[in-house]
């Protein structure tokens, strides 16, 4: 195709004047460069002035090219991106042009790049932003501005920042528009978003009717996020017509690429014109160039002289001047990039030499005079020097990557407000969206954007989506079930449906802030339950816009569609036949577990023993022969259960311990009575299936609802072989299979969702739920992936839950079961030690403390008693004798011990009186002992 283009071009070229070609020395006095611009376009006018200014600055500065001057030939394409631009490029080739600045249009750059490849002449474009130009197909194309690939990445980050998922693209249908939108689609896909509709506009001779038709189709779409990627000439017209169609109001989002910021920078008079009303709330992007002294100086020169000069040259009426835009800055820097590369080229020994192109030999002859078309021999060397440039220009640091693109791209995010613009943030390749200017330490960077004033003068972020207003009804797929009509059922003789799921869906739709007309489409033959996974796959193919029913949200299904917030909880349970337990004569033992009985009995005996120990010294009821005392301990211990003990406690320790124990006995009595009452009055049931684990390890057959996810769960999660699984279609089949049992071709149990089983068990009390739910899932409504309606419906379901609407709908369709579940039928479990160990711990501590205090008290009393005996010369021969003495002391009753002390005191007092009256009297130990014994 490239050769055909060249053939056509060269056939036209024979009419051009032929000039003599000569080689130039290593460091020539002048260098021919070319520029292809559209002088009457907004970008072209600014670029022309900027390029001329750059050439003048370079030629006046001998340090740049060491005295070599640039000779630039600027050709006007007159806003034609096609044929005239190609002719201009051929005219430049005959002048020994070493490089071409431009072209301005991406469409033209595609064609001229083919010629540049043949002639080996580098092309430096400051305005062609088409991402596909930087490809292996165009090695001599160098982009000295930022690529639309980066701009579309910034747009995608804005869309993702506000959590929009669908975008509408309005674009000019040429290389620049198509390839830019293709790049946007790729970047949106990385953020899990997409372009839902593309409105293409003709690149030339576009009429108002065509724009209106495109906008009318856009208004019928659901998305309200519109990316406008057009040329400067048509952009304002599109916004004006959108304003007339009320598409610039609240709820809409308009994101314009850098064409809008270019217009605003180039035409200062717009701020006071009525055109500003057409762009209120629009977000646009502008290539970011850091502030610098050189940039400020150039801007001052522009405002002072340059724009006025160009206005006087081309406008005989001396109309208003135009402002400097970003493309003018890049055009200025492009000339400096070329000059820097040429200087490095000559320093490396490069020469400006040209040779005939062997590929054009077939076109040479008398008919076509193409002898002046020659190849720049060292063009590849100059291209390499251009890619190696590293300078600082008006737009900042200029460096190229291996693909010929500028490195470190950055954009300003601008919001059009009132009569001006407001910067709401930045985008950079390294940091994404942020609110601060990048600095070396990046300490002032903050993720995100500042607040936006949206169309309609609102600060509330638009939802970015509404239900389509084109009269189309939402196609809702509804499974045609043959059972459980309480959930979903078709009204006989109509296309309407009723049931719990339908009522929840209808109530949620009514809470949406917009109208959603629905059309219910039955799915299934009415003879067997349809497979829900197949229904969801049909929705991905476009058969439905939503699926409503008792659809369980599972991991595999979320990979296919999006679900709303669950509106009903449901988990898998096991249902099996149950039978009544026979009455047992030992039922009175069932309230307590065996360990509970053992520990309770032990504590009865321990408490009785401790009370006996602390009481026997003071209380006659706890004294007597050993046999009597043992019986007393047992009687006292167990009689406390009924508070019928006749023994009185007189010691403080005994009374405290008895109070604690009676409190424990009261709780034990109450718990035992309550549990025994439940056991004797509530019907006791049992089943051969003990739970899910016993069912999985057995070889019995298991039933499940055909089409439900139960089959995959049983096979994949529990590793149950499919040969054991029996698909069933209705509750009647459930009942028959359970009654037949696994030995008669039936099943041992049914595994299904609790919601279904509660309906099934309403009037079938011979079956019951065994154990607890072993999955935690829920039912939800299904929508296509990334559907905004799923989010709005989730919000509506949450509102229904908060205002009690869900519960009212549940009570309407799903009544309470008349047969209790298995765990309710069996009543409370046996009481075990786990529930009472705290009470026993308190009792044990009380017993220990009582014994400790009693022993301490006895030791103190014995020590006191022993010291008195020592005063009367009472001695013990060994420790065992002392221990026997202590035990004998403990066995004595408190009154006896006190009588002994009183008798000793009385004897001592009598002795002292005799000694005082009659003189000293010698009393030996034996006599004292005799007196004590006689007194006793």
Is the per-residue pLDDT at 307 higher than 90?
no
User: Model confidence over 188-201: pLDDT tens digits?
Assistant: 999 989 999 999 99
- Domains recognised in the chain with CATH numbers: 30-145+305-310+319-399 (3.40.50.2300), 148-292+409-447 (3.40.50.2300), 474-569+777-814 (3.40.190.10), 576-580+685-775 (3.40.190), 591-681 (1.10.287)
Residue-level pLDDT at 710: 86
User: What crossing angle do the helices spanning 326-347 and 259-266 adopt, rounded to 10°?
Assistant: 100
Q: How many whole angstroms separate alpha carbon 306 and alpha carbon 321?
A: 9
Residue-level pLDDT at 867: 66
Global model pTM greater than 0.85: no
Residue-level pLDDT at 478: 94
Is the per-residue pLDDT at 1 higher than 80?
no
Is the per-residue pLDDT at 910 higher than 60?
no
User: Model confidence over 702-713: pLDDT tens digits?
Assistant: 999 887 888 888
User: Model confidence over 146-199: pLDDT tens digits?
Assistant: 999 999 999 999 999 999 989 999 999 999 999 999 999 999 999 989 999 999
Average pLDDT over residues 784-789: 84
Is the per-residue pLDDT at 682 higher than 60?
no
Instruction: Evaluate the omega torsion of the peptide bond into residue 103 and state whether it is cis, within 30 degrees of 0.
Output: yes
Average pLDDT over residues 605-626: 68
Dihedral sign, Cα of residue 826, residue 827, residue 833, residue 835: positive
User: Model confidence over 203-249: pLDDT tens digits?
Assistant: 888 899 999 999 999 998 889 999 999 998 899 999 999 999 999 99
Strands 432-434 and 474-479: unpaired
Q: Are 326 and 287 in contact (CB under 8 A)?
A: yes
Residue-level pLDDT at 260: 96
Average pLDDT over residues 32-56: 92
Q: Which parts of 534-601 are beta strand (E)?
A: 546-547, 562-563, 568-570, 572-577, 579-580
DSSP 3-state of 768: strand
Residue-level pLDDT at 844: 74
Lowest mean pLDDT among 262-276, 302-316, 425-439, 779-793: 302-316
Q: How many whole angstroms separate alpha carbon 83 and alpha carbon 764?
A: 86
Average pLDDT over residues 287-313: 79
Given pLDDT bands bounded at 50, 70 and 90, which one contains residue 578?
confident
Average pLDDT over residues 274-299: 94
Residue-level pLDDT at 932: 35
% of the chain beyond a pLDDT of 70: 73
CA neighbours within 13 Å on the CB side: how many for 38?
21
Q: How many whole angstroms separate alpha carbon 823 and alpha carbon 575?
A: 12
User: Model confidence over 805-825: pLDDT tens digits?
Assistant: 999 998 888 865 555 444 444
Residue-level pLDDT at 509: 93
* Burial degree of 492 (CB within 10 A; 0-12, 13-18, 19+): exposed
Is the per-residue pLDDT at 684 higher than 60?
no
Residue-level pLDDT at 20: 38
Length of the chain: 936
Dihedral sign, Cα of residue 838, residue 843, residue 848, residue 852: positive
Stronger pLDDT, 683 or 412, i.e. the higher one: 412
Give ∠ CA 582-586-588 in degrees, rounded to 5. Answer: 110
% of the chain beyond a pLDDT of 90: 40
Residue-level pLDDT at 91: 77
Given pLDDT bands bounded at 50, 70 and 90, which one contains residue 291?
very high
Given pLDDT bands bounded at 50, 70 and 90, which one contains residue 9?
very low
């Amino acid at each position: 195709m490239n050769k055909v283009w060249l053939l056509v071009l060269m056939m036209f070229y024979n009419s051009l004047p032929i000039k003599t070609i000569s080689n130039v020395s290593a460091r020539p006095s002048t260098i021919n460069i070319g520029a292809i611009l559209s002088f009457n376009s907004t970008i072209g006018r600014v670029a022309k002035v900027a390029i001329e200014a750059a050439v003048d600055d370079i030629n006046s500065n001998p340090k740049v090219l060491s005295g070599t001057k640039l000779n630039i030939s600027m050709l006007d394409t007159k806003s034609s991106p096609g044929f005239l631009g190609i002719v201009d490029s051929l005219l430049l080739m005959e002048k020994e042009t070493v490089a071409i600045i431009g072209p301005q249009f991406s469409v033209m750059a595609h064609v001229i790049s083919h010629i540049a490849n043949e002639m080996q002449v580098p092309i430096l474009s400051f305005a062609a932003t088409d991402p596909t130009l930087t490809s292996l197909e165009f090695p001599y194309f160098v982009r000295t501005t930022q690529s639309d690939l980066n701009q579309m990445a910034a747009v995608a980050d804005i869309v993702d920042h506000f959590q929009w998922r669908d975008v509408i693209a309005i674009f000019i249908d040429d290389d620049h528009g198509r390839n830019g939108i293709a790049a946007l689609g790729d970047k949106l896909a990385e953020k899990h978003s997409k372009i839902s509709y593309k409105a293409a506009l003709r690149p030339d001779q576009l009429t108002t009717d065509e724009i209106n038709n495109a906008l009318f189709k856009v208004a019928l779409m659901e998305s309200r996020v519109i990316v406008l990627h057009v040329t400067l000439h048509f952009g304002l017209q599109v916004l004006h017509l959108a304003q007339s169609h009320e598409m610039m109001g609240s709820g809409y989002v308009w994101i314009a690429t850098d064409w809008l910021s270019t217009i605003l920078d180039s035409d200062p008079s717009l701020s006071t014109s009525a055109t500003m009303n057409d762009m209120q709330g629009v977000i646009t992007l502008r290539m970011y160039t850091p502030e610098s002294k050189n940039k400020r100086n150039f801007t001052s020169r522009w405002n002072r002289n340059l724009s006025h000069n160009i206005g006087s040259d081309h406008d005989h009426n001396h109309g208003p001047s135009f402002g400097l835009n970003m493309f003018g800055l890049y055009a200025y820097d492009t000339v400096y990039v070329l000059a820097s590369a040429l200087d490095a080229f000559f320093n490396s020994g490069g020469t400006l030499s040209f040779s005939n192109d062997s590929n054009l030999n077939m076109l040479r002859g008398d008919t076509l005079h193409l002898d002046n078309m020659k190849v720049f021999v060292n063009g590849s060397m100059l291209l390499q020097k251009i890619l190696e440039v590293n300078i600082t220009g008006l737009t900042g640091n200029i460096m190229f990557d291996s693909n010929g693109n500028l490195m470190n791209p950055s954009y300003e995010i601008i919001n059009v407000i009132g009569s001006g613009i407001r910067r709401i943030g930045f985008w950079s390749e390294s940091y994404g969206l942020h609110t601060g200017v990048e600095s070396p330490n990046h300490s002032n960077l903050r993720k995100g954007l500042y607040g936006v004033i949206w169309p309609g003068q609102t600060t509330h972020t638009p939802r970015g989506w509404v239900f389509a207003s084109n009269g189309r009804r939402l196609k809702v797929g509804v499974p045609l079930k043959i059972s459980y009509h309480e959930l979903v059922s078709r009204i006989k003789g109509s296309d309407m449906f009723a049931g719990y799921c339908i009522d929840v869906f209808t109530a949620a739709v009514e809470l949406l802030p917009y109208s959603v007309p629905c059309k219910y489409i039955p799915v299934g033959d009415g003879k067997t339950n349809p497979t829900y996974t197949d229904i969801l796959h049909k929705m991905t193919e476009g058969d439905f816009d939503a699926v409503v029913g008792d659809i369980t949200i599972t991991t595999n299904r979320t990979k296919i569609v999006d679900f709303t917030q669950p509106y009903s909880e449901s988990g898998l349970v096991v249902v099996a036949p149950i039978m009544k337990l026979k009455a047992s004569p030992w039922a009175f033992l069932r309230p307590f577990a065996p360990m509970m009985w053992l520990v309770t009995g032990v504590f009865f005996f321990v408490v009785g023993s401790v009370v006996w120990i602390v009481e026997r010294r003071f209380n006659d009821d706890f004294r007597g022969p050993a046999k009597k005392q043992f019986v007393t301990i047992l009687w006292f211990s167990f009689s406390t259960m009924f508070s019928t003990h006749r023994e009185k406690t007189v010691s403080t320790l005994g009374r405290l311990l008895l109070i604690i124990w009676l409190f424990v006995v009261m709780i034990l009595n109450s718990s035992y009575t309550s549990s025994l009452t439940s056991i004797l009055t509530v019907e006791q049931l049992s089943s051969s299936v003990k739970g899910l684990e016993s069912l999985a390890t057995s070889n019995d057959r298991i039933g499940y609802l055909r089409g439900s996810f139960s089959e995959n769960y049983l096979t994949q999660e529990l590793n149950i072989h499919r040969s054991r699984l029996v698909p069933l279609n209705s509750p009647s089949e459930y009942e028959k299979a359970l009654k037949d049992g696994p030995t008669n071709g039936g099943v041992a149990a049914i595994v299904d969702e609790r919601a279904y089983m509660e309906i099934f068990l309403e009037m079938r009390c011979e079956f019951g739920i065994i154990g607890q739910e072993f999955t935690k899932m829920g039912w939800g409504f299904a929508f296509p992936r990334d559907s905004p309606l799923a989010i709005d419906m989730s919000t509506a379901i949450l509102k229904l839950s908060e205002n009690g609407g869900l519960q009212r709908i549940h009570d309407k369709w799903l009544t309470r079961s008349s047969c209790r579940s298995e765990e309710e039928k069996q009543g409370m479990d046996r009481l075990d030690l786990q529930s009472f160990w705290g009470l026993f711990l308190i009792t044990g501590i009380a017993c220990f403390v009582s014994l400790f205090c009693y022993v301490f008290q006895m030791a103190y009393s014995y020590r006191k008693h022993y010291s008195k005996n020592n005063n009367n010369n009472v001695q013990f021969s060994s420790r065992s004798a002392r221990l026997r003495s202590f035990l004998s002391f403990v066995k004595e009753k408190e009154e006896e011990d006190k009588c002994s002390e009183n008798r000793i005191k009385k004897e001592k007092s009598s002795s002292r009186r005799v000694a005082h009256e009659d003189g000293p009297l010698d009393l030996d130990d034996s006599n004292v002992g005799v007196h004590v014994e006689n007194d006793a």
